A and B are shown apart, each in its own frame.
Chain A
Amino acid sequence: MAVGPPINRGIMAAQNKSTAKRPKIAALVTEYRRYSHGQNIVDRLLGGYGWESGWHHPQLDIVSLYVDQFPESDLSRERVERHPDLKMCSTIAEALTLGGDELAVDGVLLIAEHGDYPVNEKGQMLYPRYEFFQQTVEVFRNSGRSVPVFCDKHLSWNWDCAREMFDISRELNFPFMAGSSLPVSRRIPSVDLPWQAEVEEMLVIGVGNIDSYCIHSIEALQSLAERRRGGETGVVSVKGLRGDSVWRALDDGAWDPALFEACLCRSLNLKPADESNRHTYPEREDLPGLLDRDPVAYQIEYADGLRATMLLMPGLVKEMTVAARIKDRADPFSLLFYLGAGHEMQPNFFNPLCHHIEQMMLTRQPPYPIERTLLTTGLTAAGVESLWQDEKKLVTPHLDIQYQVDEASTFRRT
């Protein structure tokens, strides 16, 4: 069948072993309400989800739950009643030790997205990923052993915290997986950047606000960029633009117009300039009026010379699309990261993320390098910082991060 091979042979092998031990997992969640990341991920791992041609029952057990905040719409108490083997814990340490003296689980989910936390002057919500992580590794240290950790989305809003988290994972030598669901979501078309392609320029267009959403766009971009010839070489500078600066950059040809057109033409939700004439391509002068808020751009220079741009254009489109100029290829390579068609739908882009989480817990092998998320965390923080410093171009020697990925694709192809 023309849908590519199954991507999770590790899981299938594990499922075939009926005697295989089911890992016990602790889930640390900021907030567990309908459609929060905590609910989406933990519910899929507790009760299963549609996968390939059937209902998939994960081969692991969520045994403990720490929840940081309980809004009126909280569902965690209902879940604990529904799943008698799921223990609600009042501290992170308790969730990891199951009330004993030392680490008693085989893996940790750190899902610190959503909830009511302070916002700093740069517009970043201060989700306690670093704090949850520190409390986790404290138990690891005290117990003299470590288990795999999944950290949802970026590592932290703060670069230094992220770097420390990465370093600790190396020091304690545990499998560490993180990142957005975008890199593993379905794509239209269902393709990957050609392995070892000579990529000259890339553009990603996304939606939402800085920090909480630009990480998705940047990580989607990076999951393709890292496949280029020579692998990832790190980033030397980042410059943020906002509002009119973005439109001036567009007019100055700061990015390849063919890449811009390719991104818009991959969207399934391109806003028409004229509501009575919807099936039209927007003209340049129409663009500013089609956005819900000011556009944002991050201009990224990689160490090997690759130039990439992230644009946030919420309103003009509703999803994330990417395009790449590949050497000796006439037309841009482009695709849509498919999260749903825009109407009331289940956020099943969490399904492939959950599948990779399960695979890591079963095999202790992260599906892709944590360096990807370390780099995208740094890129996001640098972009936010550049905007905060009035669009100053920031040199980024700290983003001298090199890594290589395999040829095998990890997005949801089947």
Chain B
Amino acid sequence: MAERKRKKIALITTVWGWRNHANHMGERFLNGYPCDGKWHRPEMDIVGVYVDQSPVEGEDLSLRRAKKHGFTIYPSIAEAVCLGGSELAVDAVLLIAEHGEYPDNEKGQKLYPRYEFFTEITEVFRASGRSVPIFNDKHLSYSFDKAQKMVAAAEQLQFPLLAGSSLPVTFRLPPLELPLECEIEDALMIGVGGSDAMDYHALEAMQCMLERRRGGETGIAAVQLIDGDEVWRAGEDGRWSRRLLEGALARSDSRSGIALTDGRPQDLAHDGTLQELVENPSAYFIEYNDGTRATLLLLSGAVSDWTFAAQVGGEVFSTQFLLPPQPNVTYSACLMAKAEEMFASGVAPYPVQRTLLVCGMLERCLESRVGGHVRLATPELDVCYRAPETSQFCGALQ
């Protein structure tokens, strides 16, 4: 039997240094990764690379990896995807534009050049008269407008586009999947970290659960982001559910407060210590077009993990999205398995509209904050799509 032709991949990245996404994600295609009890080696090779910056601190790993793995680093994106020739010469593009030194905008967003990189890639597609799949790490862009243009370009040029966070595809404890077409009455996600880096992950994890509700995704009607003591007052006013807080926190394995001082498990939802532990909480309120409501609480100080709870048919269901630690950060292998799946099959395993909608959700939430924590109507976020029928996360029980 003839040996199957190995696919060629171009990696387009902002910076390739120690512990950044090019390192954690991109290198899975160089070394393989643990998958379902095997060390899986993708039948594809990174052959052309573009790196925008050198790390401010530490080594530029791209040079060392190029030497070891035999790929070529090109001075431009076009050259990387053409492998130095005059037209598209790879079978897939891995676009990783997280980390690096880029300016911030007034909303606190780091202006990573995902859209700009993407546009340079699609210009080559247009000039070559053919397109190949693109995987875009994390959100499509800090800007919903730019993200829309990226999705439109993929539709126009008819290539599979997959994007997003690793949280939707990492392990869940327990492996909860809400049934398609269930009635979600209320939902709460709890996350940690700051805005426009970690909140994106939490919002996309929340969205991958919400999109399974009856009627599918209908888009978002309005958003609001509040900070500080207002978050606790909103809880007292019933704007987010204490029952769901209890449900989500029951899945947390974080250690804080008395758990640190004397080991006792603490009932954070009821023991009154949450407000002491969380110095600066935030709440992201999402109102969907079909009337469904969901809330993201960022509770740094009390928790260090990512949990979710939803009320479905009067009952609470909850889980933890597991982010395994250094050195392996195997959530990145979970995500790259999805990129590889698309590169091999030419079919995106879940819709890029999820990522598009979450880009818009986050940008509008940050605008709500900048505008004085106001409720913002979001008629432009009428992104409708259906969730995949098959569970897409690692360790899902099929």
Contact = CB atoms under 8 A, between A and B. Distances in A.
A117 interface: no
Nearest to B174: A3
B299 interface: no
A326 to B, nearest CB: 12
A328 to B, nearest CB: 17
Contacts of B178: 1
B262 A75 contact: yes
A2 B249 contact: no
A273 to B, nearest CB: 11
A188 interface: yes
Contact of B255 (A43, A53, A344): A344
Given A261-B38, A279-B31, A2 B267 contact: no
B210 to A, nearest CB: 15
Nearest to B59: A276
B83 interface: no
A53 B263 contact: no
Contact of A268 (B27, B38, B246, B328): B328
Contacts of B35: 265
Contact of B250 (A1, A51, A271): A51
A40 B177 contact: no
B197 to A, nearest CB: 19
B324 interface: yes
A269 B397 CA distance: 23
Interface string A37-57: 001100110011111111100
Contacts of A344: 255, 260, 304
A322 B316 CA distance: 32
B250 A34 contact: no
Nearest to A47: B264
Contacts of B32: 281
Interface in B379-396: 391, 395-396
A264 B328 CA distance: 12
Nearest to A351: B265
A71 interface: no
B32 to A, nearest CB: 7
B37 A323 contact: yes
A188 B249 contact: no
B253 A270 contact: no
A323 to B, nearest CB: 7
B299 to A, nearest CB: 15
Secondary structure class of chain A's binding surface, majority of residues: loop
B232 to A, nearest CB: 19
B330 to A, nearest CB: 6
B304 A261 contact: no
B269 interface: yes
B395 A190 contact: yes
A135 interface: no
Interface string B26-59: 0110011111111100000000000000000001
Contacts, number: 166
A52 B326 CA distance: 27
A50 B252 contact: yes
A78 B269 CA distance: 24
Contact of A39 (B263, B323, B330): B263
Given A50-B265, A270-B34, A340-B253, A186 B173 contact: yes
B323 A341 contact: yes
Contacts of A54: 246-247, 250, 316
Contact of A341 (B64, B176, B322): B322
Nearest to B179: A1
Interface size class of A (residues with CB under 8 A): 35 or more
Interface stretch (A87-95, A100-108, A151-159, A330-338): A330-338
B250 A53 contact: yes
A152 to B, nearest CB: 16
B265 A44 contact: yes
A55 B246 CA distance: 7
Interface string A376-414: 000000000000000000000000000000000000111
B146 interface: no
Interface string A12-46: 00000000000000000000001100011001100
Contacts of A341: 253, 322-325
Contacts of A413: 174
B353 interface: no
Given A50-B252, A54-B250, A278-B328, A262 B391 contact: no
Contact of A49 (B179, B254, B262, B265): B265
A144 interface: no
Given A269-B327, A348-B253, A188 B395 contact: yes
A272 interface: yes
B254 to A, nearest CB: 7
Interface string B126-155: 000000000000000000000000000000
A4 B177 CA distance: 11
Q: Which of A53, A265, A343 has the most CB of B within 10 A?
A: A53
A287 B292 CA distance: 53
Nearest to A55: B267
Contacts of B24: 279
A264 B39 CA distance: 9
Contacts of B64: 276
Contact of A188 (B171, B176, B267, B270): B171
Nearest to A187: B395
A338 B269 CA distance: 25
Given A3-B175, A190-B175, A341-B322, A55 B270 contact: yes
Contacts of A75: 262-263
Contacts of A345: 253-255
Interface in B256-309: 259-265, 267, 269-270, 304, 309
A216 interface: no
A342 interface: yes
Nearest to A46: B264
A123 interface: no
A344 B303 CA distance: 11
Nearest to B251: A50
B37 A346 contact: no
Nearest to B397: A2
B295 to A, nearest CB: 16
Contact of B37 (A1, A34, A266, A340): A266
7 contacts: A1-B178, A3-B175, A34-B262, A53-B250, A188-B171, A266-B34, A278-B326
5 tightest A-B contacts by CB? A50-B250, A334-B37, A53-B247, A265-B34, A262-B37
Interface of A: 1-4, 34-35, 39-40, 43-44, 47-55, 75, 78, 186, 188-191, 261-262, 264-272, 275-281, 323, 331-334, 338, 340-346, 348, 412-414
Given A53-B309, A268-B325, 14 more contacts: A54-B247, A55-B246, A188-B395, A261-B38, A262-B38, A265-B35, A268-B330, A269-B325, A277-B27, A279-B28, A341-B323, A343-B325, A345-B253, A414-B174
